[in-house]
């Protein structure tokens, strides 16, 4: 074996020759040093602290992105409303009776009528909602189950579609089951709460919103101003505490049907519409299916006005019912939220 000179030796070994075997087994004068347990725990604590500091910021950024996507959805639907109005010279009805004498079941909503204007012409043609046939027609079920992203707030935890079983009514007998694509967006129905019949067919009602049964709201009907009147806002499927829909017609519904379901009662023109029956984001109230709600971080709801401008509405907006819930919800239009919902109450106000 040849002799080699160690390059790693100290000064005392300079010039000394080692055999190759000695050179291989000779320990290095510089030894590696590992972490002690205390040092490791300190590093873990620092990492945990950094995560704790960064996580809220990350969650906030994600929440902001989802809120923006929700607003973009409302812009898409708002543009659909404007395009419909441009074609027909009026906004779509909240629900359409299709000329039937008993339109209470199977009525199509405003959302189904704007499908051609949000790049869903094929779906619209398949459903043919102006044909006079009910939405509950079994042949429509595959189309009604279509999940449309434009109708879904990304913060919502609900399923893409939901199955509903409801006893037939108003001339229908037996039980039928329909599935429908979920929607989180609802249209302004009436400025004061709808306790009792939800159909407001009179366009002269000063408390009316822009959408009701067979409504044909025109631009000139919105005398409070298109920038100062809510067209659409949002409603969740499920609340954070697990406060979920437990009966037909509560909270978010389907995009196609005017009632609580595809085959729901159009006399309520909901849940595709709203009236401020309770405070925004109040999961303890019994009539939250008529109000507004969301799962956005920090609360509040998004809305789009009739000019397609989007707005954020805080939970703390001036509301006709106080937190104790003891004010008569059928009072006159006398709060900012009610002014924004009504299209002609002679109280035009800007979004706060």
Pairing of strands 175-183, 161-167: antiparallel
What average pLDDT does the segment 169-198 reach? 55
- Does the residue 47 lie in any domain? no
User: How many domains does the chain divide into?
Assistant: 1
CA pair distance 162, 250, nearest whole angstrom = 13
- Does the residue 240 lie in any domain? yes
- Does the residue 259 lie in any domain? yes
- Does the residue 74 lie in any domain? yes
- Does the residue 160 lie in any domain? yes
325: left (phi over 0), alpha (psi -120 to 50) or beta: left
- Does the residue 221 lie in any domain? yes
Residues with Cβ < 8 Å from 245, sequence gap 6 or more?
A: 237, 238, 251, 252
Residues with Cβ < 8 Å from 81, sequence gap 6 or more?
A: 91, 92, 110, 114, 117, 231, 232, 306, 308
User: Got the DSSP string for 19-87?
Assistant: EHHHHHHSPPSS------HHHHHHHHHHHHHHHHHHHHHHHHHHHHHHHHHHHHHHHHHHHHHHHHHHH
pLDDT tens digit sequence for 302-338: 999 999 999 999 888 877 654 444 455 555 667 788 8
- Does the residue 114 lie in any domain? yes
- Does the residue 201 lie in any domain? yes
Contact 98, 133 (CB under 8 A): yes
**Exposed e or buried b per residue across 286-313, where buried means at least 16 C-beta atoms within 10 angstroms of its C-beta:** ebbbbbbbbbbeeebbbbbbbebbbbbb
User: Lowest mean pLDDT: which of 128-142, 154-168, 218-232, 336-350?
Assistant: 154-168
Residue 64 pLDDT level (bands cut at 50, 70, 90): confident
Residue with tokens 């920038």: 227
pLDDT tens digit sequence for 226-253: 999 999 988 877 644 444 444 433 455 6
Question: What is the residue range of 211's domain?
Answer: 57-341
């Amino acid at each position: 074996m040849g002799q080699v000179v160690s390059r790693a030796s100290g000064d005392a070994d300079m010039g000394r020759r080692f055999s190759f075997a000695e050179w291989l087994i000779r320990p290095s004068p510089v030894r590696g040093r590992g972490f002690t347990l205390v040092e490791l725990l300190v590093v873990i604590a620092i990492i945990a602290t950094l995560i704790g500091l960064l996580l809220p910021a990350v969650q906030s950024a994600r929440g902001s992105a989802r809120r923006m996507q929700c607003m973009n959805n409302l812009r898409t639907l708002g543009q659909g409303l404007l395009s419909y109005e441009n074609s027909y010279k009026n906004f779509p009805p909240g629900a359409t009776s299709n000329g039937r004498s008993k339109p209470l079941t199977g009525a199509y909503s405003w959302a189904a009528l704007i499908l051609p204007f949000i790049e869903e012409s094929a779906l619209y043609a398949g459903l043919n909602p102006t044909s006079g046939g009910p939405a509950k027609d079994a042949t429509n079920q595959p189309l009604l189950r279509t999940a449309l992203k434009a109708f879904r707030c990304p913060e919502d935890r609900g399923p893409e579609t939901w199955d509903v079983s409801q006893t037939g009514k108003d001339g229908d007998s037996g039980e039928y089951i329909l599935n429908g694509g979920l929607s989180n967006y609802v249209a302004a129905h009436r400025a004061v709460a709808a306790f009792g019949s939800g159909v407001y067919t009179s366009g002269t009602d000063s408390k009316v919103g822009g959408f009701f049964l067979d409504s044909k709201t025109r631009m000139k009907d919105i005398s409070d101003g298109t920038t100062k009147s809510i067209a659409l806002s949002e409603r969740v499927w499920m609340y954070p505490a697990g406060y979920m829909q437990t009966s037909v017609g509560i909270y978010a519904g389907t995009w196609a049907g005017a009632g609580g379901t595809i085959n729901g009662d159009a006399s309520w023109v909901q849940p595709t519409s709203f009236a401020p029956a309770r405070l925004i984001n109040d999961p303890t109230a019994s009539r939250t299916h008529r109000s507004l709600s969301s799962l956005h971080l920090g609360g509040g709801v998004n809305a789009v006005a009739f000019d397609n401008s989007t707005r954020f509405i805080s939970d703390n907006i001036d509301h006709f019912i106080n937190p104790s819930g003891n004010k008569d919800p059928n009072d006159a239009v006398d709060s900012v939220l009610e002014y924004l919902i009504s299209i002609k109450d002679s109280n035009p106000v800007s979004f706060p």
